[in-house]
Amino acid sequence: MRSITIIALIVALAVGVAIAQENPVENVDATMRIYTGPVFWTGDAELPQAEAVAVDATGRIVEVYAQTPKGSPWPIIKLPGAFATAGLVDAHLHVSGIGRRSEQVALESAGSAAEAAALVQAWIEDHPEVSVVRGRGWDQSRWPDREFPSWRELEGVSSRPMVLRRVDGHAAWINRTMLDLARITRDSPDPDGGRILRDAAGEPTGVLVDNAVDLLDPVLPVPTDADRERWLLAGLNACADVGLTAVHDMGQNTATCDIAERLAIAGRLPIRLFVYLEGSEDDTMAAMSRYAPHPNFMVQGMKYYTDGALGSRGAALLAVYDDEPTQRGLLVTDPMELERRVDMVHRRGFQCAIHAIGDRGNRTALDAIHKAQYGALGRRHRVEHAQVVHPDDFARFVAEGAVASVQPTHCTSDMRWAEQRLGAERVKGAYAWRTFVDAGTHLPLGSDAPVEDWNPMPGIYAAITRQDVEGHPDGGWFPEQRLTWQEAVAGFTAEAAYAVHREEDLGRIAPGCFFDVTVMDIDPRNEPTAWLKAVPTAVFVGGERIR
């Protein structure tokens, strides 16, 4: 048993806490308390597993015990559940997008364009008040013909404008009404970093890729502050429900950040919110410094993009796509402009989080980080997704001090067609988590929700197995790139904390850290599929139980 620190004992005596007794967690009102019940996986090399944790009135951990102490002067509170980790953190998602899902057509289940259209029609019948129909989740790679849909499949569904986002968010399927409203015709040029898909006659099909989706902005309704607050809180509460204690929100707008700051000051944010502002907005560079740090709300820097997504063939590749030899993807930001922006953020003391999917996109991100730093590392600029990396570039992540922020369930979603896009050799550098870890790269894990499920348990499972939830393929897809369960949990805890410069007080169950903890009903460590069954039974943020 580790001894109680002298400082902790002095604090306890000073406040005169009563003799220990077991109490329901809801009824405890003590300056100091000891939590016990589950096995605590601490993430601390000195004491990786513990039976009890002492927490003070500020929500910080005072002591961690290998065995529950006897005769403690503090109340001992037994938590429900079998296994606990430092609070699980999603290192890459889109909070407002999660909150918005209940107000859109869910298209994930569509097995064809016709099925998607039927889902839209059924949703419209239940929502007669909606003027613009929005949806998300279709994925043509799951359809029999694997072809992109067109506006024709939506004919007869409704005359209301429709904007239906692909599952990855990097393409939009729109109907004829929306095409006409946005004045997109055969004569409309492809915007920089975007594609208007066209048929054999040169007519727009109704699918817009990457920056071409921005052509819709002038004719779409502008969200109100009430909309933004509703989406933000709904997204954060959904994350808390699945056991997350913090999230890294990628590409948020300043209007929502203003609301988040107000809610944080009022004590209304349920979990910690680390924000990277959307870099394409004109006012965000100046806005970075205007938000005062708050325990539950911090603006970390800016979110930029190098390229699009692999599923829509928008990821920028160094060589052509194997399954579309005329395409190499899209650089959605000019490399020189990206270098300028990263340099500005670096000079202001903030981080950049740079979306990069293809090997050309990743190289472009690393080039921009290198030129901004002038050899002075320390900002921990992030490459988001880092999905396809050229063999020569893995070492550059360590050399540049860059963080590779990856999403394990992207691998298990994309593995059905990734090799078709990339070919047998290039795919070896895709979703290469073991290569990153062995090279010494920091690897925080997330979901990219609402692209994938924000529940962290499927992410841990995917990282360990590289299999889908049905257990396919046998042994895992490129199993040599699997992570251990300890590395996977670290990706959702300690590595996520490192990515936002908070490794001193978050990401571990250790003295000095905040008591951010996720408690699960079962101990899933000995069976990978058990992670899929584990559910949170208690969630703490800063010593306060929120679930």
The answer to the question of residue 531 being in a domain is: no
| pLDDT at position 128 | 87
170/316 Cα distance (integer angstroms) = 13
465/522 Cα distance (integer angstroms) = 19
- Answer yes or no: do 258 and 177 share one domain: no
544/133 Cα distance (integer angstroms) = 40
- The CATH number of the domain holding residue 215 is 3.10.310.70
The answer to the question of residue 536 being in a domain is: no
- The CATH number of the domain holding residue 70 is 2.30.40
Q: Specify the 3-state DSSP secondary structure of 38.
A: strand
Instruction: State which of 172, 187, 219 marks the end of a domain.
Output: 219
Peptide bond into 456 cis (omega under 30): no
223/241 Cα distance (integer angstroms) = 26
- Answer yes or no: do 362 and 246 share one domain: yes
The answer to the question of residue 537 being in a domain is: no
The answer to the question of residue 528 being in a domain is: no
Domain count, the chain: 3
- The CATH number of the domain holding residue 335 is 3.20.20.140
Its pTM stands at: 0.87
- Answer yes or no: do 373 and 472 share one domain: yes
Q: Specify the 3-state DSSP secondary structure of 219.
A: helix
- Answer yes or no: do 362 and 436 share one domain: yes
- Answer yes or no: do 354 and 468 share one domain: yes
Which distant-in-sequence residues (6+ apart) come within 8 Å of 163 by Cβ?
Answer: 132, 133, 134, 135, 172, 174, 178, 216, 220
- Answer yes or no: do 235 and 189 share one domain: no
| pLDDT at position 21 | 35
- Answer yes or no: do 269 and 145 share one domain: no
Q: Specify the 3-state DSSP secondary structure of 163.
A: strand
Instruction: State which of 191, 219, 247 marks the end of a domain.
Output: 219
- Answer yes or no: do 214 and 229 share one domain: no
- Answer yes or no: do 413 and 467 share one domain: yes
Instruction: State which of 48, 79, 110 marks the end of a domain.
Output: 79
511/506 Cα distance (integer angstroms) = 11
- Answer yes or no: do 305 and 332 share one domain: yes
What spatial distance separates the first Cα and last Cα of the chain, rounded to whole Å? 30
β pairing state of 33-41 and 49-55 = antiparallel
103/279 Cα distance (integer angstroms) = 26
- Answer yes or no: do 113 and 14 share one domain: no
| pLDDT at position 18 | 33
Peptide bond into 223 cis (omega under 30): no
Report the candidate in 509, 521, 544 with the shortest Cα–Cα distance to residue 50: 509
Instruction: Find the domain containing 279 and state its range.
Output: 225-505
Burial 395-417 (b: 16+ CB within 10 A, else e): ebbeebbbbbbbbbbbbbbbbeb
- pLDDT tens digits for range 155-186: 988 889 989 999 888 889 999 998 989 899 99
The answer to the question of residue 532 being in a domain is: no
- Answer yes or no: do 61 and 46 share one domain: yes
Report the candidate in 392, 449, 466, 519 with the shortest Cα–Cα distance to residue 78: 519
pLDDT in tens, the chain (547 residues): 344 333 333 333 333 333 233 333 444 445 899 999 999 999 998 899 999 999 999 999 999 999 999 888 899 999 999 999 999 999 999 999 999 988 899 898 899 999 999 999 999 988 888 889 998 889 888 899 888 999 999 998 888 998 999 988 888 999 999 898 989 999 999 988 888 999 999 999 989 988 898 899 898 988 999 999 999 999 999 999 999 999 999 999 999 999 999 999 999 999 999 999 999 776 788 898 999 989 999 999 999 999 999 988 999 999 999 999 999 998 999 999 999 999 999 999 999 999 999 999 999 999 999 999 987 788 999 999 999 999 999 999 999 999 999 999 999 999 999 999 999 999 999 999 999 999 999 999 999 999 899 999 999 999 999 999 999 999 999 999 999 999 999 999 999 999 999 999 999 999 999 999 999 999 999 999 999 999 999 999 999 999 9
| pLDDT at position 375 | 74
12/407 Cα distance (integer angstroms) = 43
The answer to the question of residue 511 being in a domain is: no
The answer to the question of residue 377 being in a domain is: yes
| pLDDT at position 205 | 93
